[in-house]
Copies of this chain bind each other. A is one copy, B any other.
Amino acid sequence: MGQAPGRLTQRDIARLAGVSQTTVSLVLNNRGDAGARIAPETRDRVLRVIRDTGYAADPLARRMLKQLNQILGVFTYEPVFPSTSADFYHPFLRGIEESAERSGCDLLLFTSAPVRDGQRRIFHENNRLRVADGCVLLGREIPSAELSRLVAEGYPFVCVGRRDDADGRPVPYVGADYVNATAQLVDRARACGHRRFAFVGPGTGAESSADRLAGFRRAVGTEAPFLSVGTPDPAERLARLLEAGVTAVFVEVEAEAVALAAAAASQGLSVPRDLSMVTLGDPTIPVDSSLDFTGFHIPRPQMGQQAVELLVDVLHGQTSVTQRLLGCELTHGETLGPPAS
């Protein structure tokens, strides 16, 4: 199936034109210069038959010889189209699609990877990774065991988002520079007059979380309060912050920033007058808040785009640099201002 019964081949054309298959191929590829030449007369006869029959070369057969299939895999740890994951994946995918289009590649979504515990796994019984020439990996957190195996197998891939080394070997990625972005925001807060800062968020686990905390630590020193999400109650969290004399709080997840701001408001405190707040990246979960948070912008489409570019380069053996960090643009919101005192 798939194959039309009467599909034409170069042999058919050759027979019709009274030449060999080789000649047809040569005519088609205009290889007059390279060694073999074709008499104009013959060439015209062949072209004529080709035109009359509407023959077109089978792209598969062509590709077979070139050894690259122009298929790039895209692996996501969840289905991409449901609206629950849409806000997270789509900006990346937009860049990926655009870049694939530019380099003439098709994208293979690994929907065949079975979902287990709400997550897909790259490596499973009968994994089909190698169907693609290489693969772009997408996900907030990627199990390091899977990365190790990919690296060990020498499979060409690029992660979207910075990744720690796997077994001491570098993992190819295109990431965003959360360390610097966060540090810059701290500097800006300091320039505003703030002296006591706090970080709210996991700060560990995914590289993206660790990097934010690292940037924060680098800029403020190590003694600043660090509150993990362990304290789920925004009111209590707020109380602890104020108790510690914090005037500027850096929140990893926008949803938590919103909750904290709400808690502040309910106590008659105003942002940023009584407490400055900074979020560390665009929301991945849609959040409606009237507040325009100060923070930074993650260049998601660019990350996707460059991930594909990097992968293509790797596939062509055209690069040795396999890690790229993109800068984040700071956003001037309304939640950072001079401290009250």
> In whole angstroms, what is the CA distance A125 to B47 when docked?
11
Assess the B58–A129 pair: CB atoms within 8 A.
Answer: no
In the bound complex, do residue B63 and residue A2 qualify as a contact, i.e. CB atoms below 8 Å apart? yes
Decide yes or no: A2 and B156 within 8 Å by CB, A79-B98, A106-B112, A128-B70 being known contacts.
yes
Determine whether A219 belongs to the interface, using a CB cutoff of 8 Å to chain B.
no
Q: Does A115 have its Cβ within 8 Å of any Cβ on chain B?
A: yes
In the docked arrangement, what's the CA distance between A83 and B89, Å?
12
Which residues of chain A from 96 to 112 have any CB-CB distance to chain B below 8 Å in the complex?
96-98, 100-101, 104-112
Selected from B66, B101, B127, the residue in CB contact (under 8 A) with A2 is B66
Considering the chains assembled together, what is the distance between the CA atoms of A107 and B114 in angstroms? 14
The reply to whether B155 and A6 contact each other, CB–CB distance below 8 Å, is yes
A133 with B66: CB separation less than 8 A: no
- Residue-wise, chain A 123-150 has the 8 Å CB interface mask toward B (1 for contact) of 1011111110110000000000000000
A121 within 8 A of partner (CB):
no
Interface 1/0 per residue, A88-99 and B, CB below 8 Å: 001001101110
Q: How far is the CB of A155 from chain B (nearest CB, A)?
A: 6
Give per-residue flags for A197-213: 1 if the beta carbon is below 8 A from chain B beta carbons, else 0. 00000000000000000
Closest to A6 in B: B154
- Chain B residues with CB under 8 Å of A63's CB are 2, 60
Contacting residues, chain B, for A108 (C-beta < 8 A): 71, 106-109
Whether B106 contacts A155 by the Cβ 8 Å rule is no
B130 touches A59 (CB 8 A): yes
What's the Cα separation between A315 and B7 when bound, in Å? 11
Cβ 8 A contact of A56, one of B57, B70, B105, B128:
B128
Select which of B58, B97, B156 is within 8 A of A111 by beta carbon: B97
- Measured between beta carbons, the chain B residues less than 8 angstroms from A68 are 1-4
Contact A4 B79 (CB under 8 A): no
- Quick check: A2 and B155 within 8 Å, CB to CB? yes
Closest beta carbon of chain B to A230's beta carbon, Å: 35
On whether the beta carbons of A133 and B2 are closer than 8 Å, the reply is yes
In the complex, A4→B312 CA distance in Å? 11
* 26 residue pairs from A and B, CB less than 8 Å apart: A1-B67, A1-B317, A2-B66, A2-B67, A3-B154, A4-B154, A5-B156, A6-B155, A7-B130, A7-B153, A8-B130, A54-B123, A54-B129, A56-B127, A59-B69, A59-B71, A59-B128, A60-B64, A60-B130, A62-B126, A79-B97, A79-B98, A82-B94, A97-B111, A105-B111, A106-B131
Known: A6-B155, A60-B128. 10 other contacts (CB 8 A): A4-B67, A54-B130, A58-B130, A61-B64, A70-B112, A79-B101, A81-B90, A86-B90, A106-B108, A107-B109
Ranked 9 nearest A-B pairs via Cβ: A56-B130, A6-B154, A81-B94, A2-B67, A4-B153, A107-B109, A100-B111, A4-B154, A81-B93
